[in-house]
């Protein structure tokens, strides 16, 4: 395969950027690959050195991680490392200080659990079940109204009223 840049020499380097729909690929010869990288990646013997490239990328990534670790909450001095280690934020201002990382931090602290899966008190089980059923029916009701299926919507409305009455939720939203 010929180099995509010069169309003269044989392509020996395959460069992939992005992933999924944003994925782009290039096939280059050593000379064009060297020219396409910044001066940091040019070498005296004019050859492409993949080991140097990987080392440089690794250093950039570790610098980025160090910068993230140095960031602290101005109020309590907590860092991302201390939050993850302790399993909790130092103060309410930590949420604003680490705004961009909050979902990631919570996911790491909660062992990749993104929603609460716990026990429901025995006394509340039936009430919660009815409440969820009502929520489901209300969503179905709004879909039926939107699609102008009013007879079916009336049936669903009556079911909701019966459930609210039986569950003692006359004041339910």
Over the stretch 107-118, which tens digit does the pLDDT of each residue have? 777 776 767 667
CA 58 to chain centre: 23
- What is the sign of the dihedral through the CA atoms of 155, 158, 160 and 166? negative
Angle in degrees, CA 149, 152, 155, rounded to 5: 145
Instruction: Say how far apart CA 63 and CA 43 lie, in whole Å.
Output: 23
Q: Are 76 and 94 in contact (CB under 8 A)?
A: yes
- Compare 88 and 148 and report the one with higher pLDDT: 148
For the full predicted model, state whether its pTM sits above 0.85. Answer: no
Write out pLDDT tens, residues 42-76.
Answer: 444 545 667 777 777 776 666 656 655 567 888 89
């Amino acid at each position: 395969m010929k180099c995509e840049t010069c169309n003269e020499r044989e392509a020996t380097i395959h460069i992939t950027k992005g992933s999924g729909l944003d994925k782009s690929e290039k096939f280059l010869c050593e000379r064009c690959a060297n020219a396409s990288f910044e001066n940091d990646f040019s070498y005296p013997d004019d050859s492409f050195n993949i080991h140097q490239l990987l080392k440089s990328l690794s250093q950039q990534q570790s610098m980025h991680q160090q910068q993230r670790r140095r960031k602290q909450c101005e109020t309590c001095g907590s860092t991302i490392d201390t939050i993850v280690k302790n399993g909790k934020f130092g103060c309410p201002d930590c949420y604003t200080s680490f705004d961009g990382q909050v979902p990631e931090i919570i996911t790491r602290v909660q062992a990749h659990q993104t929603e609460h899966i716990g026990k429901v008190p025995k006394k509340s089980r039936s009430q919660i079940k009815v409440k969820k059923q009502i929520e489901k029916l209300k969503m179905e009701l709004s879909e039926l109204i939107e699609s102008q299926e009013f007879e079916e919507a009336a049936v669903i409305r009556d079911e909701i009223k019966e459930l609210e009455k039986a569950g003692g939720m006359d004041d339910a939203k």
